[in-house]
Amino acid sequence: MESGTLRRIDTWYLPVTESVASAFISHGAVPEASIERAALLAMMLATQRPLGRGDLYRLVDEARQLFDGQPLADGERDLLAQRVVLADMGFGEVAGLLGDQGVAFADVEVMAAEAWLGEDGEFSHGFQAACRETFMEVSVRLEEDLGADDEDGDVERPMAGDQVVEVVRPTFHLRGTTDQVRAVRAIAASSSEHYAITAFAGTGKTHLMFALATSGRRFTHLAPTHAHQHAFNERVGTRAVSSVVLRTLANDMATAHVQGNSIRWVRAPTVREASMPLEARLQAAGIVSIAGDSPARVLAAVDRIINRWCYSDAPQIGPEHVRFNDGLSVDERAAYVAMARRVWELMLQPLGSKTERPFTVRAYHLFKWLDVEGASLPPMGTLLIDEAHDLPAPLLALIRRYPDGCVTMGDPYQKLSGVMANYGSGKALTLTRSVRAGGQAVGLIRSVLGMHSTELVVESLEGSREHYTRRYFYQSTDTLPLAGLRVYESVWSILEDALRLKSQGVPFRLLPATESDLARATEDAIGMRRGDHVTRYYGNREYTSWSALAGHLERIGYSRVVRLFERDFGSTDMQSLLGAQKDAEAEGLTLGLLEHCKSLEFSQVTLWPCCFDTLSGALERRRADERVRAVYLAMSRATDELWLPGDAIDILADRVSRVRGQFT
């Protein structure tokens, strides 16, 4: 997590709700309460010129007294006369003008409690604190299962002789949002329930997970990668709760299953990378041509068939998993099924330590095998699972059968690629209140989520009550801040900008995953110029020559990148660029790709133009949704400032609409 040195500015709340303000703006509906009328007057004046916090307070207080001292009809007439300043503005435009000043509308519950009214009957200075209250302090008691029911249906109680032993239940403290408190209280009530928590970005699911982990109950954290495990252990400590990487869990479960059952293998299958060349792999598996496709293409198709089957509930690979070619005959489809089943058997065969590995085995392959075999997760207490939207479906099948407690936390809008399995297998809870981004930025984020083809979360993301996130719409990249996070869709945009920053002496560094992708992409281009056709970067896999890659870059607007390589930009130049990066802790810019923004937080976040305007009409419909989700992820990293191209939202909406238009 990183943050800049910007001064965080509190949001100032008008004592009127969004619904009352919207009704007045749209239909001229005037409320009866004098405080709400005063707030609407202040709202209208603030759309004409920026008002300071003190000016807003005095204006609301004096206007309230004025409306209190006149008949309702006169006050209504005066307020409607002022409404002319709004002209043809809609609620969204008015809210945007206010948001640029850090002014927002009060929540319904705060107005219902009359928090604006001070003990002296005047407009209370404490109203702002009441509106900003995001967190609450609570003590939560852990309720543990005491035992199985006896024959009469009563719960067995611990006894000492003839006396019932009083059970002392652990209590822990939590400072959290209303959503977080509600979730913790529900989870604390039972150690055996399954809960599926849907949490928007920045709503504190990580904070919730850490609070649970330190509560005293036995928890096991399932980490997607070693990096996640390290971050968790750094925050919680290895003594408080155990953390298990999914790859390790898969290997350990496979070993235990082979050792504890009558299986023909002496050694269990493990997660591993292929080490055998392609031709040898084809020969070892007996891959032959099917339907005119070469053996290599058949193997690629078999990989897709196996992966589709692993993410299904089917116990065996069948014709329904062969979906890449509708023109296949029944016999050809059956041949593909037989080949996929053969490859699956070879994938799982145990190998000696020095034996070449013909096929890669991922953790989700092992989990599928374990699921089909009827294996079960070992006892681990209550499971804590973050990033549940990225969990492999075979593991979710095992989790649903887990007899003890489980808490899965995910955000379906953060599933950046592929199809998300339904991780919600228990009682549903939702976190909607951001503790990171203010309502001004959240309004823009909601407009991006509205471009998604399906509504993945029924509830709406709500902004932080404590501070506002300033929105800036830039026309030129020369005006952008030289701090915080810059986000790009393309590695080629990063290459151009990083070289420019280096030449200007601006401190910068690349996110580690982004640095790796950029290095591979440039190695491809440099190698192709030499006649090397091997591609290392997934974005270049369709191009096998420099002319093909250069033509692609020209078509998508990177002619300067083409000229760069044609002027013999080489490996030494690339190493010089990477070596120019600032230290991780030094001030300056951080550069990263959209898909590498997870789990980050920055005071300032800038989205480069390529994030919005590179969707092609030839792309598949799902890619439009993937871009929407990636832009949402990047925008939600900001706490204090969010910088977007001036026409970013309109451009993204147009690109998404054009892509989807091909399929309607």
Chain position carrying tokens 């004409």: 48
What are the residue ranges of helices labelled H in 203-358?
A: 205-213, 226-236, 246-260, 278-285, 295-310, 330-348
* 3-state helix/strand/coil string of 578-633: HHCCCCCCCCCEEEEEHHHCCCCCEEEEEECCHHHHCCCCCCCHHHHHHHHHHHHH
Chain position carrying tokens 């997760």: 377
pLDDT of the residue at 4: 43
Beta bridge partners of 194: 406
pLDDT of the residue at 3: 40
pLDDT greater than 60 at residue 157: no
CA 238, 242, 243, 245 torsion: positive or negative?
Answer: positive
Roughly how many angstroms between the first and final C-alpha of the chain, as a whole number?
42
Q: What is the distance between the alpha carbons of residues 179 and 176, in angstroms, rounded to a whole number? A: 8
pLDDT greater than 70 at residue 1: no
Question: Do residues 187 and 409 lie in contact, with contact meaning Cβ atoms separated by under 8 Å?
Answer: no
Query: Quick check: helix, strand or coil at residue 56?
Result: helix
Query: Quick check: helix, strand or coil at residue 317?
Result: coil
Question: What pLDDT band is residue 146 in, cutting at 50, 70 and 90?
Answer: very low
pLDDT of the residue at 11: 86
pLDDT greater than 90 at residue 561: yes
pLDDT of the residue at 557: 92
**Tokens representing 215?**
């509560």
* 3-state helix/strand/coil string of 10-52: ECEEEEEEHHHHHHHHHHCCCCCCHHHHHHHHHHHHHCCCCCC
Question: Do residues 276 and 357 lie in contact, with contact meaning Cβ atoms separated by under 8 Å?
Answer: yes
Question: Do residues 32 and 153 lie in contact, with contact meaning Cβ atoms separated by under 8 Å?
Answer: no
**One-letter amino acid of 541:** R
CA distances from 582 to 285, 502, 577 (A): 49, 10, 11
Q: What is the distance between the alpha carbons of residues 409 and 397, in angstroms, rounded to a whole number? A: 16
pLDDT greater than 80 at residue 351: no
Question: Do residues 41 and 25 lie in contact, with contact meaning Cβ atoms separated by under 8 Å?
Answer: no
Question: CA dihedral in degrees (226, 231, 235, 241; nearest 10)?
Answer: -20
Q: Which of 603, 232, 597 is nearest to 413 (CA)?
A: 597
> DSSP code of 472?
E
Q: Which of 417, 425, 367, 369 is nearest to 392 (CA)?
A: 367
> DSSP code of 565?
H
Other Cβ atoms within 10 Å of 562 Cβ, number: 18
Chain position carrying tokens 């350990």: 252
Q: What is the pTM of this model?
A: 0.81
Q: What is the distance between the alpha carbons of residues 496 and 505, in angstroms, rounded to a whole number? A: 14
Question: Do residues 243 and 221 lie in contact, with contact meaning Cβ atoms separated by under 8 Å?
Answer: yes
The length of the chain in residues reads 664
605-619 tens-digit pLDDT: 999 999 998 776 444
Q: Using alpha carbons only, how large is the chain's radius of gyration in Å? A: 29
Number of helical H runs and strand E runs in the chain: 25, 20
pLDDT greater than 90 at residue 620: no
Q: Which of 497, 609, 492 is nearest to 555 (CA)?
A: 492
Question: Do residues 399 and 233 lie in contact, with contact meaning Cβ atoms separated by under 8 Å?
Answer: no
Question: CA dihedral in degrees (375, 377, 378, 380; nearest 10)?
Answer: -170
Question: What pLDDT band is residue 575 in, cutting at 50, 70 and 90?
Answer: very high
Q: Which of 476, 468, 492, 499 is nearest to 562 (CA)?
A: 492
193-223 tens-digit pLDDT: 999 999 999 998 888 888 888 787 888 999 9
* Mean pLDDT value across residues 422-437: 84
Q: Which of 221, 525, 215, 541 is nearest to 387 (CA)?
A: 221
480-534 tens-digit pLDDT: 999 999 999 999 999 999 999 999 999 999 999 999 999 999 999 999 999 877 7
Q: Which of 202, 194, 158 is nearest to 400 (CA)?
A: 194
* Range with top average pLDDT, 97-111, 160-174, 419-433: 97-111
Question: What pLDDT band is residue 399 in, cutting at 50, 70 and 90?
Answer: very high
- Least confident segment among 130-144, 390-404, 556-570, 576-590: 130-144
Q: What is the distance between the alpha carbons of residues 388 and 408, in angstroms, rounded to a whole number? A: 6
Question: Do residues 596 and 518 lie in contact, with contact meaning Cβ atoms separated by under 8 Å?
Answer: no
List phi, psi (to 5°) of 169: -95, 135
- Least confident segment among 71-75, 114-118, 209-213: 209-213
pLDDT of the residue at 239: 75
Question: Do residues 529 and 546 lie in contact, with contact meaning Cβ atoms separated by under 8 Å?
Answer: yes
> DSSP code of 460?
P
* Cβ-proximal residues to 633 (8 Å cutoff; 6+ apart), any chain: 201, 413, 414, 416, 594, 597, 598
**Tokens representing 30?**
């005037």
Q: Determine the Cα angle at 466 with ends 460 and 467, to 5°.
A: 90
